[in-house]
Structure 1
Amino acid sequence: MANARNRSLEVTIISGEDLRINGRPIKNNAFVTVKAESRCSPSSHESTKPDARGDSYPYWDEKLHVELPAGSPYVVVEAHRRSSSAGDKLVGMAWIPVSDFVGDYTPENHLHFLSYRLRDAKGLRNGIINISVRVVTSSHKGASSCSSPLPPPVLESRMPVDREKHGGTVTGVPVWFPNQWKS
């Protein structure tokens, strides 16, 4: 069997800002769940403990570990309020594109600090969630639960050499040097 890359996420739920239910600031027991959305496998989720301080600006600073199946387009972060009488109530959620922390030129073990606007069940703005995300990779034997994973994209750049054939057009990437404009 071919080697497949298994990715997991280390998501630290740092804090929330201005969390509300029905327009009123929440007073206690806010917690957060994180899960990776995938078309191919059931999503597992992890949750923080309820915030002990008890206000609409909760602070958790709690690390959660979530498996990231191949082809997962989003990670879903949901803020809830736990109530003994009414059960868990959704405060807000954010659908975070995996492309925000996977790919580009960032090393896989890079720590990303991110903030996202939460939306309530009606789609209205309802606070902000502050998180950090680190992609943790390991190799394992076996096939993935979805189709075989695609090889990593290869960065390719081309520059025309023949001026007459290509019209003399060259595409470049602008580079800015901090001391470039100082006199």
Structure 2
Amino acid sequence: MANTHNRSLEVTIISGEDLRINDRPIKNNAFVTVKADSCCSPSSQDSTKPDAQGESYPYWDEKLRVELPAGSRYIVVEVCRRSFSTGDKLVGTAWIPVSDFIGDYTPENYLHFLSYRLRDAKGLRNGIINISVRVVSSSYKGTSSCSSRPPPLVPWFRMPADRENHGGTVTGVPAWYPNQWKA
């Protein structure tokens, strides 16, 4: 993995589609738990409140915070139905690769909208979960800690502001790339 430090995720559980138990649509009380799959350290998890009215198309729109330890390859999203008589019953699970929202070309704090197929305990298709994920950087959380990774190099585009002192009309946009000519 490219990441060498823990990251914080803001996962918004938006909605579910066509959720079933034993091929029958669920009636109510669906909830979602999100946790990081970590081989090296225990991971945190967070859960939504049960949706009382959504039936097999529940709507939560609830933000959850999950710590993503270094070395994690997936986040696990589990949809369950709460029943006071029989206990919590698993509706479906989605294993979401971390590479879907963390990569070299995606800046931190970028909001990803994602939909995944849920699989029941037998591995059969069982609905869809709609979420959004944001990797929360230290500046987004309001802290002043430094990142262990330098920011990526991005070209700066500049053009003169006053035409009188810089030769008139601009025919191209000069680009300056930091440290591009250093050996």
Q: Shorter chain as normaliser: what TM range?
A: 0.7 to 0.9
Question: Which structure exhibits the higher relative contact order, with contacts defined as CA atoms closer than 8 Å and separated by 6 or more residues?
Answer: 1
Structure with larger Rg: 2
1:21 alignment counterpart:
21
Q: Is the 8 A contact 1:5 1:137 kept in 2?
A: no
RMSD: 2.1
2:171 alignment counterpart:
none
1:122-141 alignment runs, 5 A limit:
122-138=122-138
Aligned to 1:99, the other structure's residue is in SS state helix
1:66 is the counterpart of 2:63: no
1:50 alignment counterpart:
50
Q: Is the 8 A contact 1:9 1:65 kept in 2?
A: yes
Taking the aligned partners of 2:63 and 2:19, their CA distance within structure 1 comes to 20
Q: Is the 8 A contact 1:6 1:137 kept in 2?
A: no
Q: Which runs of 5+ in 1 are unaligned?
A: 142-148, 156-183
Taking the aligned partners of 2:104 and 2:111, their CA distance within structure 1 comes to 14
> How far 1:140 sits from its partner (Å)?
5.7
Q: Give the alignment's TM-score, normalised by structure 2.
A: 0.73
User: Would you say how many aligned residue pairs link Structure 1 and Structure 2?
Assistant: 143
Q: Which has the higher strand share?
A: 1
Q: Which runs of 5+ in 2 are unaligned?
A: 139-143, 154-183
Aligned to 1:83, the other structure's residue is in SS state coil
Runs of 4+ in structure 1 deviating by more than 2 angstroms, as ranges, are 137-141
- Identity between Structure 1 and Structure 2 (%): 83
Q: Give the alignment's TM-score, normalised by structure 1.
A: 0.73
1:81 is the counterpart of 2:81: yes
Can you list the C-alpha shifts for 1:70-121, whole angstroms capped at 9, x where unaligned? 0100000000000001100000000000000001311111000000000000
